[in-house]
Amino acid sequence: MTATTPHIEVRGLSMAYGEHIVQRDLDFVVNKGDIFVVMGGNGCGKTTLMRALVGLQRPTAGSVLYSGEDFWNAEPEVQQRLKRRLGILFQGGALWSSLTLAENVALPIAEFTRLPAARVDEIVAFKLALVGLAGCEDLYPAELSGGMKKRAGLARAMALDPDILVIDEPSSGLDPLTARRLDELIMELRESLGTTIVVVTHELASILSIGNNSIFLDSESHTMIATGHPQDALKNGHPKVRHFLTRGGDVSPPRRNDSSETA
């Protein structure tokens, strides 16, 4: 894997709701194999940026390129092809409550492929085992803990073997131990599968333990501050970023995550 291969390029991206500018003039590159963190406080536009990245909300200006292909200026059939390269884990998991875990994970496979039912069952079992939910195929979302719902959502996001995962607030609503286990799972997936991962979060523990590149969305200037590796930003970054990363006291992350660690 070439760590410097651009997987996602954002150029001059601006987003607004009517006259209200959320973020403007965003320019950054996500390299292949990155765990790229989009961080910032509540209301800074993190989720809005995520929606622009995955094709759910058209930006007011700028481009989102996947391996050089401009998503928002592409024909609809090209957009659909590019979307299939993405796996998305929404903040609440977004599981269908009336479907079992197996049925939830099988849904995108059935929609976008013509694989026989037996093969779909094999893929579903493998994806659930990959996130530690082997044997839970027949459970419904209501029977799961918060952490299990997140892992089930991750299994569904990976159903079509995407080369890019976009994850919105993975630790939201989880206790610290469960959140850390989910962070470790995200890193294991990156290292074992070579997946490029974009994580949208404001959680310090996640930012400092899993990210190897990042940007900070500033709610005052309505634009980004490039920060690089979060642990470097913690020591020598922009004052606003250091203030954000040190809220709540001294943080000593257990592990530095560099893209050079990718298996």
When mean pLDDT is compared across 3-17, 128-142, 224-238, 242-256, the lowest value belongs to 242-256
Domain assignment present for residue 105? The answer is no
DSSP single-letter state for residue 186: H
pLDDT band at 194, cuts 50/70/90? Answer: confident
Domain assignment present for residue 109? The answer is no
For the chain, the C-alpha Rg in angstroms (whole number) is 18
- How many Å apart are CA 87 and CA 127, to the nearest integer? 13
User: Who contacts 145 (Cβ-Cβ below 8 Å, separation ≥6)?
Assistant: 178
Note the pLDDT tens digit of each residue in 20-61.
999 999 999 999 999 999 999 888 999 999 999 999 999 999
Number of domains comprising the chain: 1
Residue 127 and residue 155 in contact, taking contact as beta carbons nearer than 8 Å: yes
pLDDT at 116: 93
Q: Which domain holds residue 81?
A: 1-85+203-250
pLDDT band at 134, cuts 50/70/90? Answer: very high
Domain assignment present for residue 193? The answer is no
Residue 171 and residue 138 in contact, taking contact as beta carbons nearer than 8 Å: no
Q: Say what the pTM is.
A: 0.87
Q: What is the number of other CB atoms lying within 10 angstroms of the CB of residue 227?
A: 25
Q: What is the mean predicted confidence (pLDDT) over 131-136? A: 91
Q: What is the number of other CB atoms lying within 10 angstroms of the CB of residue 49?
A: 26
Domain assignment present for residue 184? The answer is no
Note the pLDDT tens digit of each residue in 198-242.
999 988 988 999 999 999 999 999 999 999 999 999 999 999 999
Residues in the chain, total: 263
Domain assignment present for residue 156? The answer is no
pLDDT at 254: 44
Q: How many DSSP H helices and E strands does the chain contain?
A: 9, 10
Domain assignment present for residue 111? The answer is no
| CATH assignment of the domain containing 220 | 3.40.50.300
